Chains A and B, each alone.
Chain A
Amino acid sequence: GQSLEQPSEVTAVEGAIVQINCTYQTSGFYGLSWYQQHDGGAPTFLSYNGLDGLEETGRFSSFLSRSDSYGYLLLQELQMKDSASYFCAVRGAGTALIFGKGTTLSVSS
């Protein structure tokens, strides 16, 4: 089967950098992606890694190491509006996108 592990909660202050880790187990691998969800809202796509290495999108970066079955989301220059839940998701054999249980990020001033 497929499974993902990510921390349940992370706290940080404005302006800081935070890293949210994700380890996965999957049969076959077709990419690791990250989604953001504000309280009560719909998840929105943040980034995707299909190959090893770092992908940067503004203040957010995502990293993948396929040999370690590991990835992370890096959020820089944190702002209050970054307080949200962050989900890693993996696509393994078949076409279903499976999500982790999510990491709640709380940013304080």
Chain B
Amino acid sequence: EAQVTQNPRYLITVTGKKLTVTCSQNMNHEYMSWYRQDPGLGLRQIYYSMNVEVTDKGDVPEGYKVSRKEKRNFPLILESPSPNQTSLYFCASSLSIGGAGANVLTFGAGSRLTVL
């Protein structure tokens, strides 16, 4: 089944304890992205990647890191989580970085993170 898989789905952690949210897609998609969703703020982009070893900042990159060492994986790293990073996180991918296909994102199921 074509999908984007995120783990963990739920996580409660404490301030300053490094964590990684993994994201993997099995569709050979070029483009991958991370969004966070907060009430009333919609989906805000954190980082995105157009290809292996190519990443760029979105609108809210502070406090996050990403890497794209393989085409299928795009982990989100919180080096020192803070309570303001409590949110619902979505990983998404699209087949292409241009044309109509770039507008069609497939989302993972989401990871709900709580930082105490």
Contacts and interface: CB of A to CB of B under 8 A. Distances in A.
Q: Indicate, yes or no, whether A interacts with B.
A: yes
Contact of B108 (A35, A40, A42): A42
A101 B42 contact: yes
Contact of B31 (A32, A44, A95): A95
A97 interface: yes
Interface in A68-109: 87, 89, 91, 94-102
Contact of A97 (B33, B50, B109, B110): B33
Given A42-B90, A42-B110, A99 B103 contact: no
Given A31-B103, A48-B100, A43 B45 contact: no
A30 interface: yes
Contacts of A31: 100, 102-103
A94 B107 CA distance: 20
Contact of A50 (B40, B59, B100, B105): B100
A95 B48 contact: yes
Given A30-B102, A31-B100, A96-B48, A101 B41 contact: yes
A96 B58 contact: yes
A43 B42 CA distance: 11
Nearest to A4: B42
Contacts of B106: 45
A91 B43 contact: no
A102 B42 contact: yes
Interface string B26-58: 000001010100001111110010100000101
A30 B103 contact: yes
Nearest to B57: A96
A97 B108 CA distance: 16
B97 interface: yes
Contact of A89 (B40, B58, B103): B103
B107 A42 contact: yes
8 contacts: A31-B103, A48-B100, A48-B104, A97-B94, A98-B45, A98-B59, A101-B40, A101-B42
Interface of B: 31, 33, 35, 40-45, 48, 50, 56, 58-59, 90, 92, 94, 97-98, 100, 102-110
